[in-house]
């Protein structure tokens, strides 16, 4: 299986975030770079799951017939989009 091309990036982290990354790396005995890669991958996956949940909810809202269900689903959509 061919390996994916790696791209070097330079980022500037706020001090507090950098310290958190260092603590995680030390605790897990990983490099700071590996921790950053894992955190980014987890964040991307979380974003995909959030988008999937949104589109599933939007489809339920679009196909709902019961007015009370429409209101409930509309409220849920609003919370997903705008927060609590």
For the chain, the structural domain boundaries read: 15-82
Matching residue, tokens 């679009």: 62
Structural tokens at position 63 = 């196909």
Q: ∠ at Cα 24 (20, 25), nearest 5°?
A: 115
What are the tokens at 50? 């959030």
- Per residue of the chain (84 residues), give pLDDT as tens: 567 898 999 999 999 999 999 999 999 999 999 999 999 999 999 999 999 999 999 998 889 888 888 899 989 888 888 877
- Which residue in the block uniquely carries the two structure tokens 């009370």? 68
pTM: 0.75
């Amino acid at each position: 299986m061919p390996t994916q091309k790696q791209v070097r990036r330079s980022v500037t982290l706020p001090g507090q975030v950098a310290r958190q990354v260092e603590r995680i790396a030390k605790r897990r005995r990983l490099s700071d770079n590996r921790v950053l890669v894992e955190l980014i991958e987890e964040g991307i996956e979380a974003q995909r799951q959030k988008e999937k949940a949104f589109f599933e909810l939007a489809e339920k809202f679009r196909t709902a017939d019961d007015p009370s269900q429409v209101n409930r689903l509309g409220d849920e959509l609003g919370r997903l989009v705008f927060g609590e």
